[in-house]
Chains A and B, each alone.
Chain A
Amino acid sequence: AQSVSQHNHHVILSEAASLELGCNYSYGGTVNLFWYVQYPGQHLQLLLKYFSGDPLVKGIKGFEAEFIKSKFSFNLRKPSVQWSDTAEYFCAVINWGKLQFGAGTQVVVTP
């Protein structure tokens, strides 16, 4: 069965710091990968997606993620975070309409 694991459950960092959130998946076939974000009091929003092609994908709000097939990883990055990036971030893999989510990483950005 496929699964998704996120390395950190809680990350605290200061504004302007760089962010990298780890995500590993276990799935033998072709993978379609996503990062979603849930800001406080808001619904889940799609940050970025990887279906095929360039393994470095860019999303909204300055986020990017790199798909490394040999490492079964899809890590999320942002060079310089802002206070407004405080949110919970979820990595997910999809199979036939079913999104399998990781446990999520709570990111707190301090001013």
Chain B
Amino acid sequence: KAGVTQTPRYLIKTRGQQVTLSCSPISGHRSVSWYQQTPGQGLQFLFEYFSETQRNKGNFPGRFSGRQFSNSRSEMNVSTLELGDSALYLCASSTSGYEQYFGPGTRLTVT
């Protein structure tokens, strides 16, 4: 089976812009979770979607949002980018939300 894929792999944006990141889960997986990884804060949970419904949400501001499509693909959007949003954004998929498999991530740099 193909693994979790994320696009784009690298992104440079300017403060104030918005960005959309995409994640394609492993075939058959209905749960997609998003995480932010930074050197200072480590790995932090953003949100989880299961069958197009957000089931769980982390402690991030409303500028961070996501959605999941009927084919289980997911997108994450960050509006009004801030310098502190620079991070590696990881997507993980699983059949039910437990055993999660991670993609390579999208490296976002905000200048």
Contact = CB atoms under 8 A, between A and B. Distances in A.
B49 to A, nearest CB: 9
A90 B101 CA distance: 14
Contact of B99 (A49, A98, A100): A49
A11 interface: no
Contacts of A101: 42-44
Classify chain B: how many residues form its interface, as a range: 20 to 34
A16 B68 CA distance: 46
B90 A44 contact: yes
A103 interface: yes
Interface residues of A, number: 21
B66 interface: no
Contacts of B56: 96-98
Contacts of B45: 98-100
B55 A90 contact: no
B92 interface: yes
23 contacts: A32-B98, A36-B102, A43-B90, A43-B102, A43-B103, A44-B90, A45-B102, A46-B99, A46-B100, A94-B97, A96-B48, A97-B31, A97-B33, A97-B50, A97-B55, A97-B56, A97-B97, A98-B33, A98-B58, A99-B35, A100-B45, A101-B43, A101-B44
